[in-house]
Structure 1
Amino acid sequence: MSLMLAIFALVFVTQLVSWIGQGALLELAYAFYLRVFHSSTDARLRQLKRDVLATKAELLKTSAQDQFAKWAKLRRSVDKGLADLEKLNSEVQATKAAFAVKFNTAVWLLTTGVQFLVGWWYRKTPVFYLPPGWFGPLEWWLSFPFAPAGSVSVGVWQMSCKRVIKIGERVVKDLAASSSSHSSSEPEVQEASSEKKVS
């Protein structure tokens, strides 16, 4: 793959991560991590929640005055289940916090870190050459900081790609907003026309 396309793909992936949101990606990745590497803890947590809810439902059906012994036994079982659930939840939260640090570091390294690395590694390599004399004194700026004069540097190409992708994002959002407002106004137009027919 050419350097131009590789940098565009890298910038696009970085912007995609920011569009989706790092928090949403973290939740998806953690759910997958929990099911694959801590499946027993995940299963135990879900089973404990089901047991506590079932016992609590039975407790609510039991009369404290008429069946005190059964009610007290159920009450102790609910309290013990809630205590176990709280302990297990704190373990899961500690695991999630450790996972979040690793995940956020990995996402930063794979997006922003790789962009810095590519920018540094190819700092003297031109992404492509411009036709001579088309941009006059701007040719120096387009090759900034270390690319040969008359070419576009990696840093300038990264900024350009990011800008174009952001403009594309704005256009897509505007189109989506206009199409949703257009589709929501159609029923109102149909209702108004049906009211005219009735009258």
Structure 2
Amino acid sequence: MADPNLAVLIFLLVLLTQVVAWIGKSVLQDVAAAAYGRVFLGSLDKEQRRLRKQVLEDKAELGRTSSQDQFAKWAKLRRKVDKGLADLEKTNAKLSAARSTFTSRFSTLIWLSTTGAQFALMWWYRAQPVFWLPEGWVPGPVGWFLRFPSAPRGG
């Protein structure tokens, strides 16, 4: 006799797979990445915004300064802008690496919870029938093929 828990487990797994397919892996990934970014990368985001604002202010001041008349001030501002851009680039690289790592791990999690779980379920319950057909409903070779590789006869 088929296990009713197996049928519920199959139903829930198929439901999860269909919900993921309906919503879309990329949408789920974007939502999860945004939540992850707010929770775990908030300090890097703040640092990035602060550096971007500072670089823009310094560039505006550099544009207002004459390189010929106020060379010392202009050179100091130029070095400050260059340092700010380098720091901003480092912060952007850190954020990008963290988001890329999260994306690959989340994608793996989605695969494991849908496709990987289906494979595991099929392997674990490979000898247990999901439903039974009465003897004689399916001719010999077709019945053998349907129960292949290890289900009992009629299952």
TM-score class normalised by the smaller sequence: 0.7 to 0.9
Matched with 1:190 is none
Q: 2:64 matched to 1:52?
A: no
User: 1:108-123 counterparts in 2 under 5 A?
Assistant: 108-123=111-126
Instruction: For 1:120 and 1:27, locate their aligned partners in 2 and report how far apart those are by CA, in whole Å.
Output: 32
- Aligned pair in 2 of structure 1 residues 97, 68: CA closer, same or farther (>3 Å)? same
User: 1:17-36 counterparts in 2 under 5 A?
Assistant: 17=20, 22-36=25-39
Instruction: For 1:8 and 1:54, locate their aligned partners in 2 and report how far apart those are by CA, in whole Å.
Output: 58
Note the residue ranges of structure 2 that are not aligned, 5 or more in a row: none
CA shift for structure 1 position 118: 0.9
Q: 2:150 matched to 1:146?
A: yes
Matched with 2:87 is 84
TM-score by length of 1: 0.59
After the TM superposition, which of the residue ranges 111-120 and 129-138 deviates more from structure 2? 129-138
- Aligned pair in 2 of structure 1 residues 24, 56: CA closer, same or farther (>3 Å)? farther
TM-score by length of 2: 0.72
Higher RCO, Cα 8 Å, sep 6+: 2
Matched with 1:194 is none
AA paired with 2:38? R
